[in-house]
A and B are shown apart, each in its own frame.
Chain A
Amino acid sequence: MTWLGLTPAQWVEYAAFLAAAGASLITALGVLLAPRVLHAAIWLLFCLLSIAALYALLGAHVVFAIQVLVYAGAIAVMIVFAVLLLERGTGRGILAGSQHLFAGLVSAGALTAVLVPALAYTLWKHARAAAVSGPDTGPISGQAAAIGRLFLTRHLLAFELISVALLVAMIGALVLARPDRRRQEPPETADEAEGQADVSQWHPPLNVGAEEDAP
């Protein structure tokens, strides 16, 4: 049973693809246009989720789960967390938007210049491969095992390098967040100064501890 040359399953797939792709575009626009940073972060969350939906439609379940786990579940939450801390710390809302129009245009242009040829190359290559051996529908099962095997064999170096980079980032965050131990706070009161000078001079109130000494 077909309609306009497509089976119902294909229709479902197309509808789902259109929904996910449209949602990702609209939410990406939302990220750009939202006036407040927190709204932009929530838009970003939905953008990441709709891209995850695209992965799921492609049958790439592992990538889908990693996208949701890492980007939506961790990174978006971290962004929101940071915004919450900053907004309440400064007492006023942070407005989204950039004052660096030129730098933004240059970086966006550079990204486009890299991405478009890469996409075009991939499409061209796959179209040729499909012309030779029919459409490549890829395996649905055994993906996780295959990806794991690739990580530990062919891409071992890259995998380890990335983990080292993450470790460096973690240590860097620790160093940045650590309070400076070398700088001593000046004592605020005379008692405190005395205490810092010689702790043994500190004496507890006389009534406390009297019971212990009594027979």
Chain B
Amino acid sequence: MGKNSPTQPRFIPRRVIEARARGEYLPSLSTGTPDVPGRQEVTAFTFLWAIVEGAWTVVVGHWVTFKNFWRRKVTEQYPYRNPERNWKPRPGYRGDFALITDRRTGRLRCTACMQCANICPAGCIWIVGEGRGKDRHPVKFSIDAGLCMYCWLCVETCPFRALTMTPDYETAAARPEDLIRDIEYLRTRGLEYHEPLMPIEESAQDTRQHATGGDPS
């Protein structure tokens, strides 16, 4: 958070605050900018100048919108235009779910420790585990995407970094029961990932860079 970031309250000089306390600021129509310190006498000149200034800002505003009218539009008519294009959401997007397979053992990392199912606020994770110790693994692992609120808590809490959310967004289904992701589905999805995707702070950072790096026009 920098010194001049927009979340900080706007800096107001002390002399301005004191002048305001003395009631030395007049309505905007009568004077120029309100943050100029000192008493503003309403003369014929300041009154007329405020009108001229206001009219000029209106003209400038209309010039801005006029230019914008002719600019290239940013609307992406997915999926009707360019369906072959590789549409990628911004980093940090949470769409689908996946269980990550360990590359060395070829088995799911998940140990059915139930931590994700316990922390889930929506209670949409359902796990049946089998085996003891190192052999512990899930037999059934279902996530109901219709109940999920996409809060990322399960991914964050997983001690084995076995669960992740993926940026796939075409997850719609015609029936609610089709939204339940079973273990086979999750395993297949997870084959693309070695590690869970970025947590939210890092992806937010990335989004900022993304937003400032490329000009949409």
Q: Which residues of B contact A213 (CB under 8 A)?
A: 14
Shortest C-beta distance, A205 to chain B (Å), equals 9
Interface residues of A in 175-209 (CB under 8 A from B): 195, 199-200, 202, 204, 208-209
Contact A211 B21 (CB under 8 A): no
Whether A212 pairs with B18 at a CB distance below 8 angstroms is no
Tell me if B13 is interfacial: C-beta within 8 Å of chain A. Answer: yes
The residue in chain A whose Cβ has the minimal distance to the Cβ of B9 is A208
Size range of the chain B interface in the assembly: 10 to 19
Minimum distance in angstroms from B57 CB to a CB of chain A:
27
Q: Residue on B with the closest CB to A209?
A: B14
Instruction: Report whether B21 and A209 are in contact in the complex, using a CB–CB cutoff of 8 Å.
Output: no
Decide: B22 and A209 in contact? CB cutoff 8 A. no
CA distance A117 to B15 in the complex (A): 75
Contact yes or no, A199 B22, CB < 8 A: yes
**Across chains A and B, which 10 residue pairs bring their CB atoms closest together, nearest first?**
A209-B14, A204-B17, A202-B21, A212-B13, A199-B22, A211-B11, A204-B14, A209-B13, A212-B14, A199-B21
A-B contact pairs, 18 of them (CB 8 A): A195-B21, A199-B21, A199-B23, A200-B22, A202-B22, A204-B14, A204-B17, A204-B18, A204-B21, A208-B14, A208-B17, A209-B12, A209-B14, A209-B17, A211-B11, A212-B11, A212-B13, A212-B14
Binding site for A on B (CB under 8 A): 11-15, 17-18, 21-23
Residues of A whose CB lies within 8 Å of any CB of B are: 195, 199-200, 202, 204, 208-209, 211-213
